[in-house]
Amino acid sequence: MTSEFKATRRVEFSETDMAGIVHFSNFFRYMETVEHAFWRSVGTSVVMTQFDPPLGLPRVHAACDYKRPLRFEDTVEMHLRVIEKRARSLAFEIRFTRITPGPAEEVASGKLVVVCVQKNEDGTLQAVPLPEAIASQIEVAPDAQP
Amino acid sequence: MTSEFKATRRVEFSETDMAGIVHFSNFFRYMETVEHAFWRSVGTSVVMTQFDPPLGLPRVHAACDYKRPLRFEDTVEMHLRVIEKRARSLAFEIRFTRITPGPAEEVASGKLVVVCVQKNEDGTLQAVPLPEAIASQIEVAPDAQP
Amino acid sequence: MTSEFKATRRVEFSETDMAGIVHFSNFFRYMETVEHAFWRSVGTSVVMTQFDPPLGLPRVHAACDYKRPLRFEDTVEMHLRVIEKRARSLAFEIRFTRITPGPAEEVASGKLVVVCVQKNEDGTLQAVPLPEAIASQIEVAPDAQP
Amino acid sequence: MTSEFKATRRVEFSETDMAGIVHFSNFFRYMETVEHAFWRSVGTSVVMTQFDPPLGLPRVHAACDYKRPLRFEDTVEMHLRVIEKRARSLAFEIRFTRITPGPAEEVASGKLVVVCVQKNEDGTLQAVPLPEAIASQIEVAPDAQP
């Protein structure tokens, strides 16, 4: 059973803005980086073409609280935890910690809510339960506060 | 007194993702588009170099709820409203409506909270009141729910 | 017969980098802005779903020479000209001129080469001639130097 | 003496477009990823604040030829080689090879030309020679064709 995942990345120049810090919208891209690595850690891509019709996980909610700036070439750890698990949706918390240069400091904290959908042949999307083979590997983190 | 602003944009190809829709992170860039136009409508850039030391408006919170997809070449209206006004911070709600192709439909709804800071010579940021000349032009929208 | 198109845009905050100028990669996004507007001006989207199988115009070459920086809230004009027209491909030159704040100055000059392809049912792409109904509306600009 | 550097990255969802492939503009961001790693490999950041006045390396030319598409979760190797070295500028070639899923295939080939500039106190930029301590560590790759 998996309830969390950690990934790190180094801030790229193209992710900064004229204020000299990571543009706030890029924290949402960083959230996806660790979320998609989480899905790989339970044996699937977020793009679930192994099912027929194919399944996907569009976001229905995203949020972020910003505490400290991140700068070019900083190393940031994204710590994802499952904070809510329903038949058709999952909620994740993602904590961002600057690792280098140290000392380690929390810089931001985000949330993503994703819904499992199947893509019908006519192009419509329909919410469906997350397949049991995948859902059975995922559990809510022990101390989660949704 | 200003409490709202509307802007439109046409979805660019580079803003879509492999799901064929606008990537969720780009809604946060769209929020800035209308927010920065709002600041120009009250006579200032969001980058307030007319003050010494210069002032800025970093975001401390951002959130978005996604209801329907936006696609390439859709025209979307961003309707920003001031929903909270404090000495040092402002909260905005931004509603996204697809205008073309019609009929008009709300596709998403977002929130931004920005704090007024001055940039000291040593590089530190310090929260300060929004200058009166600017603050006096801004009021909370009549039916705002912060 | 159409051989050129002009569009303008205002530089967004999210398009700048920590050097305080538009990140060089964004000039390629700006090139697409005016190119896609050019396609609309000859009556089609760059995504040609009106044909069966659908046609597209992937880029096979892109280049840019940078002369002066572009900054936040500058207005830039993108002037696209057709500089080469072949059965299966088109080459465009795109000149970037800062319009405000003035005086107008050329800031960069780019090139895009696109190829017309059909997307077969098995997912493969195959270069095909640009449909006559579209090709007949496009001509090389008078003084073009491919 | 250093004349090349290799880095790999996994394609992110946010880097794809509605054609299901990496947007062409993102190859220029990938070029920077390996170029900035190259600078770190010779002991400096591309942002050279260790000098007074500080030095930087703005791009004056960028180009890319696209051969095959890159897709979500592909692993791509960027192989940078120094192809020209002058007192004030360097030219790099960057070859993109899809590593997974295999077999390895070249997908694109790019070029960057950067100029060493110092940032004067009045904000102007001035081309200057690359400092000897850095330049002395860099040489043109054996079989380079500028």
CB pairs under 8 A between B and C: 30
Interface test with B, best of C28, C73, C114 (most B CBs within 10 A): C73
Catalytic residue among C17, C74, C122, C143: C17
- Residues of chain A short of pLDDT 70, as ranges, are none
Distance, C-alpha A28 to centroid of its chain? 8
pLDDT score recorded for residue A143: 85
Verify whether the Cβ–Cβ distance C18 to A23 is below 8 Å: no
Q: How far is B143 from chain A (nearest CA, A)?
A: 23
Tell me how far apart the alpha carbons of residues D66 and C77 are, in angstroms, rounded to a whole number: 26
Which entry of B17, B52, B122, B143 is annotated as an active-site residue? B17
Residue in chain C nearest A73 by alpha carbon:
C18
Q: Distance (Å) from the C-alpha of residue D105 to the closest C-alpha of chain A?
A: 22
Give every CB contact of residue D11 below 8 A, 6+ residues apart in sequence.
D22, D70, D71, D72, D73, D74, D75, D76
What lies within 8 Å, CB to CB, of C14 at 6+ separation is A17, A23, A25, B29, B32
Gap between the Cα atoms of C84 and C82, Å rounded: 6
Q: Is the pLDDT of residue B2 over 90?
A: yes
Nearest CA in chain C to D68: C60
Which residue from A minimizes the CA distance to B27? A25
| Best residue of A17, A26, A72 to probe chain C, by most C CBs closer than 10 Å | A17
* pLDDT beyond 90 at B102: no
Residues from chain A contacting residue D33 (CB–CB below 8 Å): 12
Q: How far is B99 from chain A (nearest CA, A)?
A: 20
Beta-carbon contacts below 8 Å between C and D: 55
**Per-residue confidence (pLDDT) for residue D121, from 0 to 100:** 86
Instruction: Name chain B contacts of A69, Cβ cutoff 8 Å.
Output: 58
User: Given this model, what pLDDT does residue B122 score?
Assistant: 86
Is C74 marked active-site?
A: no
- The one-letter amino acid at D145: Q
Inter-chain residue contact B16 with D14, CB threshold 8 Å: no
User: What mean pLDDT is predicted for residues D9-20?
Assistant: 97
- Listing from the earlier edge strand, what are the strands of the sheet with D55-56? D55-56, D117-119, D125-127
Name which of B10, B11, B14 to mutate to probe chain C: the one with the most chain C Cβ atoms within 10 A of its Cβ: B14
Condensed to tens digits (0 to 9), the pLDDT of residues C89-146 reads 999 999 999 999 989 999 999 999 999 999 888 888 899 999 999 999 999 999 887 7
Q: Which residues of A touch D29 (CB under 8 A)?
A: 12, 14
> Average pLDDT in the B54-79 region?
97
pLDDT band at residue D47 under the 50/70/90 scheme: very high
Q: Which amino acid is at C39?
A: W
Residue B121: which pLDDT band, with cuts at 50, 70 and 90? Answer: confident
Give D21-41 pLDDT, tens digit per residue.
999 999 999 999 999 999 999
Q: How high is the pLDDT of residue B124?
A: 85
Chains that touch B (3 or more CB pairs under 8 A): A, C, D
- Predicted pLDDT at A123: 80
Convert the pLDDT of each residue in C14-55 to its tens digit.
999 999 999 999 999 999 999 999 999 999 999 999 999 999
Chain D hits for B17, Cβ within 8 Å: 13-14, 16-18
Instruction: Give the CA dihedral D42, D27, A25, B74, nearest 10 degrees.
Output: 170
What residue spans of chain D are helical by DSSP H?
26-41, 132-135
The 10s digit of each residue's pLDDT in A79-98 is 999 999 999 999 999 999 99
